[in-house]
A and B are shown apart, each in its own frame.
Chain A
């Protein structure tokens, strides 16, 4: 006879796996309690009758059906125009500046004034516009005693995806210098005068609720947008949660706090499960690039400054000449989008054979990129990708190139939504919401089979970073010719410690390294590294059971160091700054003198394989 009760109990946990987390704040906000201290500015949301007519027409068309979900939520942004037009003078100034830009928004882009907010003698204006059919953008203008401008865009397609009735585009944008400061390790940070968070709202959202370290703040939606200005925020203050109020309901908005320069200390969300690879692909190439076909535009279209940045990048040691670039083109992964991808085949030396594939993404915010050995880059996976973003932006641009094996590319977000990635001439670039990272790239062949899945892309700043508090100087050593190094230790935001290694050789060879850990020791017992080649300084940390650190030299010599609170710092004497006598590694010895960990000071391999 079957024991139904036990069978049922055993099945229960597996049966009802519910991926939900408690959110008491949302309940408190929705219930309208604990409102003290919350700043509230309510204004009526006005939806023009003409817009409603436009929505009705759109719904009656086949296209309308396709975007009905979007129209339910963001119709004003998708098919209408939120806010009011800016003055003719402002529009003319925008047009003139846009025309001068190499990466211009489409002709006819119309600026709309969404919200104006006055604070402490400053005027904060939120403007918005649609960039063709690809993106919508918010521009923040601060005027008065301070002047600042920032522009952030979101892909228009984002509004048609699941993601709540509010999209944050700008988060904690710093404006001006405040009157607070705090030590984080060896640096003293100033607060901003203002920190501004802004975004767009669906048609039925009346208010947006935000929480930061200063409390909970409710701001009214105007012109389908919201603007939250934190005055004199604390150092490191961040908006951590966002909710939207729609009538009686309060809805949590997917949102990822902006990491500070010191790291957020937060752990990343779980990555979406990787779909199975249905066909293995190895050893891909980009045919048109190898055949030197003139796809896209020539490199000469790049503005001089960008060209210097992009083509000045050299593989291997610093000092190579620009002629290392054998062939390159400027590609437009998505028509109408002010973003280009520069792809070049590079050699190790002028006139040499192809050794590397370099890709650069160039946007209005700047250029970022890197190189990889070619065709080895496609030896195991048919794509090579990078990520650009940061600051107050809520989206990260994942970009790169694929081999000819790839017919279609998708991004798989943390919430398991799939995003089509525009692909042209083997180049791609897609903006992914930081709130939905980690994400994976999934590549398909022409028969729709999965041929590769990337490792998850995580947001920046999830690693341990310095916590508030001044670091303590543990070591100071001097080297030849006035060089010196210092090692300080302070708390990390994950319960461990951060080591700050400052070194100075001369004005051109100076720097600070920061390395933070969590509460538990991870990795090898000896984490001691060298600076410069041949090594001038040796620094790092060792596990508790390492009682002595032995520095090894190329000529067989050795030096013993006693760690101080688990840290060592050593200046290599002048006579050992030659390759034949250089420091080559470090051993960690326990109390009995047994070696329990080793590390080598061998320099990392060059970006490209040496021919």
Chain B
């Protein structure tokens, strides 16, 4: 038997517990920290309003992730300021804090690959959960992740030569 609906309290607990994760992944999708935060806020407003429509067929977190990702994608389509990955700040001793340019490499990946990377490695979601969030097949998650790995590995090796 599946439960129907979520409570505002459950959503609040999830929000408080995973706020940083939601914002960072949304920021990665939007390429903008502020937009990521806006996306999370807007997503949770939607989640609270629509909480009774949660059908309980999967974890509540997966349901919320889907809303967050969709909201972040929507905001990513809007005009925005400079992308957060575009800069590589210098540390006080003058060295770059991203010597191999990982940020730039990730920023250059296709949107789907970026989303899968962040949901896998930052949100720590399993393939099945990522598949539900992104509305794709679990096999597609594995293939996308593998492609992203190959691309990054190749470019990192080039960067280290």
Contact = CB atoms under 8 A, between A and B. Distances in A.
Interface stretch (A11-19, A52-60, A199-207): A11-19
B12 A18 contact: no
A33 B45 CA distance: 10
B103 A2 contact: no
Interface string B123-161: 000000000000000000000000001001100110010
B102 A11 contact: yes
Contacts of B15: 22, 24, 27
Given A18-B24, A18-B27, A31-B49, A4 B152 contact: yes
Contact of A2 (B33, B49, B106, B153): B153
Given A27-B48, A31-B49, A32-B49, A15 B106 contact: yes
B10 interface: no
Given A18-B24, A24-B15, A32-B49, A8 B33 contact: no
A41 interface: no
Given A5-B121, A20-B23, A27-B15, A15 B102 contact: yes
A8 B121 contact: yes
Contact of B121 (A9, A20, A30, A32): A9
B79 to A, nearest CB: 14
B45 A27 contact: yes
A22 B45 CA distance: 13
A230 interface: no
Contacts of A20: 19, 23, 33-34, 36-37, 40
A16 B27 contact: yes
Contacts of B84: 16
Contact of B28 (A4, A7, A16): A16
Nearest to B84: A16
B51 to A, nearest CB: 9
Interface string A332-375: 00000000000000000000000000000000000000000000
A22 B41 CA distance: 9
B61 interface: no
Nearest to B145: A5
B108 interface: no
B33 A18 contact: yes
B152 to A, nearest CB: 5
Interface in A205-245: none
A17 B122 CA distance: 13
Contacts of A16: 24, 27-28, 33, 84, 122
A27 B34 CA distance: 16
Contacts of A33: 8, 48
B16 interface: yes
Contact of B156 (A4, A22, A24, A30): A4
A232 to B, nearest CB: 30
Contact of A8 (B16, B27, B34, B117): B117
A1 B154 CA distance: 10
Interface string A19-54: 110111011101111100000000000000000000
Contact of A18 (B23, B98, B106, B157): B23
Interface in A496-530: none
B33 to A, nearest CB: 5
Contact of B149 (A5, A19, A34, A250): A5
11 contacts: A5-B121, A11-B106, A16-B27, A16-B28, A22-B15, A23-B41, A26-B41, A27-B48, A28-B48, A31-B45, A34-B8
Interface of B: 8, 12, 15-16, 19-20, 23-24, 27-28, 33-34, 36-37, 40-42, 44-45, 48-49, 84-85, 97-98, 100, 102-103, 106, 117, 121-122, 149, 152-153, 156-157, 160
Interface of A: 1-2, 4-5, 7-9, 11-12, 14-20, 22-24, 26-28, 30-34, 249-250
Given A8-B102, A17-B33, 5 more contacts: A7-B152, A18-B20, A20-B36, A31-B49, A250-B45
